[in-house]
Structure 1
Amino acid sequence: MAIIQSNECISPDIYKMSVTFSGTVLPGQFFMLRAWDKDPLLSRPISVHDYVPGKVTFLYQVVGKGTKILAKLKTGDNVEIQGPYGNGFPEITGDLCVVGGGIGVAPLYYLVKHYKEKKPNGNCRVYLGFRENAYCVEAYEAIADEVILDIGGIITNQLRVQPDEVVMTCGPEIMMASVAKTVPLENVVYVSMEAHMACGIGACLGCTCETKSGNKKVCKDGPVFLREEVFYV
């Protein structure tokens, strides 16, 4: 059980929650959150937005009963968190290009921050696409070398990748598929997949996805995959 330090609405239906946690967290990993007894049945998988020793932060969108309950929690309330789960984004030696769409921008902030901490002289460019309301843009601008923003359009239309950049993306599957097709094959591309999850540890097989090398579990084998594994470019 974790104690909520803050839980605020930062944009319509978008909340940022920080809770107590001590442990090791990698960019791209997620937790299973629960603040109810039996209804809804399943916990909610929420990706890590940020982490500092003693505190993990989640950025989530209110879309159903579970997230509506999470949004009503106050500072000092308890919330059950299990994790971190998943393989996360790998550390890289070259420059980084990040592409996020909608609530898919959530796990990319900790990725960029972690990258700049490990490689302060490395170059990191960030593409952020939103349908209507943008959020967290200033936070990205504070840590990235360049931020390209698109509201209401198609962010991948603006995507320009340098030969030495590694691309990491999270967002709607149609956007990530576009990234996979747009980026030259010479560049390495990692995608963070989303799926309905029941357990978070691969036991229930509820989040199985088809890959080039057979069916895999998004929660355990992912959520981060190489693009050629899931989009067959």
Structure 2
Amino acid sequence: MQYKSLDVLENVMVAENIYKLTLKGEYEVKPGQFFMLKSWEDEPILSRPFSIYDKGEDYISFLYEVKGKGTEKLSRLKKEDKVKVLGPLGNGMDVSRIKGKVALIGGGIGIAPLAYFAKKIEADVDIYFGFRDEVYGIENLRNKELFITTKSGRVGYKGYVTDIFNPFDYNLVITCGPLVMMNKVKRICEKTATPLYLLMESKMACGIGACLVCACKTKDGMRRVCKDGPIFKGEEVVLDA
């Protein structure tokens, strides 16, 4: 697998320090997969991993938060600029097999891959998204049952998504976001034996399983988020958060 150079179609700020980057390209992808992106020649040396937020016939979109040198350089991109892209990577999920009622629980930038899950899952889906203050990334979810929480109370319920989520209502839960949030979702689902999948996020160097930078702790030892994941069964992963 080699990097490809794709044109920028759009790169817009959708909330404070949150951007949506849309690239021109045709890909076959599964929900949960990710890409390695790089738009610079010098520092930082490494590419950055980004989950798939949305995809059409001739485009693919990513949500990202500006947190360091790499994402700051991405935020400067304009239409028709070039981005080096490697992917799709990771295991992804065959959502055609999902039955019953599903809860998607996301926090912060972890909502990005879950938005694409919501678009592709044909089963009954409820979405629980938690934000600090500003709400973003929900424009494609208007026809879904959507529950919003904000830490500030600015929009929706004041508090956390784990405060309003009832696992007894669901046949399957998929979660992505801060480790503290995912760990709480994991404990809640364990009490009710509700099947759970964790969509792990991690710093990565290669994205193809060669460097072991993104290893996470599981009951069977260390596993690579990029190659063995990023989707893991809830009972597999040991979260220290």
Pair in the same fold by TM > 0.5: yes
Aligned to 1:104, the other structure's residue is in SS state helix
Specify the alignment match of 1:136 in structure 2: 137
Question: Which residue number in structure 1 is paired with residue 52 of structure 2?
Answer: 48
TM-score, normalization by structure 1: 0.93
Query: Sequence identity of aligned pairs in percent?
Result: 42
Aligned residue pairs total 225
Gaps of at least 5 residues in structure 2 are 152-158
Instruction: Please give the alpha-carbon distance, in whole angstroms, between the structure 2 residues aligned to 1:199 and 1:72.
Output: 24
The answer to whether the 8 Å contact 2:38/2:84 transfers is yes
Counting only pairs closer than 5 Å after superposition, residues 33-112 of structure 1 correspond to structure 2 as 33-91=37-95, 92-112=98-118
Is the Cα contact below 8 Å between 2:167 and 2:188 reproduced in 1?
no
The structural deviation recorded for 1:155 is: 1.4
**8 Å CA contact 1:112, 1:143 repeated in 2:** no
Q: Does 1:123 align with 2:129?
A: no
Following superposition, the deviation at residue 231 of structure 1 comes to: 3.4
Segments of 5+ residues of structure 1 without an aligned counterpart are none
CA contact (8 A) 1:163 1:187 kept: no
CA distance in 2, matches of 1:221, 1:8: 32
- SS for the counterpart of 2:236 is helix
Between the aligned partners of 2:166 and 2:46, the Cα distance in structure 1 is: 40
Cα shift at 1:133: 1.2
| 2:160 aligned with 1:154 | yes
- The alignment status of 1:19 with 2:23, answered yes or no, reads yes
The CA deviation string for residues 189-224 of structure 1, in whole angstroms up to 9 with x for no partner, is 001111110000000111111101111100000111
Paired residues of 1:49 and 1:57 also in contact (CA < 8 A): yes
Task: Find the residue that maps to 2:61 and give its secondary structure.
Answer: strand
| 8 Å contact from structure 1 (residues 163, 186) kept in 2 | no
Distance (Å, rounded) in 1 between the aligned partners of 2:148 and 2:192: 24
RMSD of Structure 2 on Structure 1 (CA):
1.3
Q: Is the 8 A contact 2:38 2:85 kept in 1?
A: yes
SS of alignment partner, residue 148 of structure 2: strand
CA distance, structure 2, for counterparts of residue 134 and residue 231 of structure 1: 30
Contact 1:102 1:131 in 2 (8 A): yes
1:231 to 204, 215, 238: 238
Q: Please tell me whether residue 189 in structure 1 is matched to residue 183 in structure 2.
A: no
The match for 2:206 is 199
The letter for the 1-side match of 2:193 is E
The residue type paired with residue 197 of structure 2 is Y
Alignment check: 8 A CA contact 1:180 1:231 kept? no
The Cα of 1:43 is off from its aligned counterpart by 0.3
TM-score normalised by length of structure 2: 0.90
Partner of 2:185: 179
1:163 Cα deviation from its structure 2 partner: 4.9
Deviations 1:103-149 (A, max 9, x none): 1001111101001xxx2xx3110001011211123432x232x1111
Amino acid at match of 2:70: G
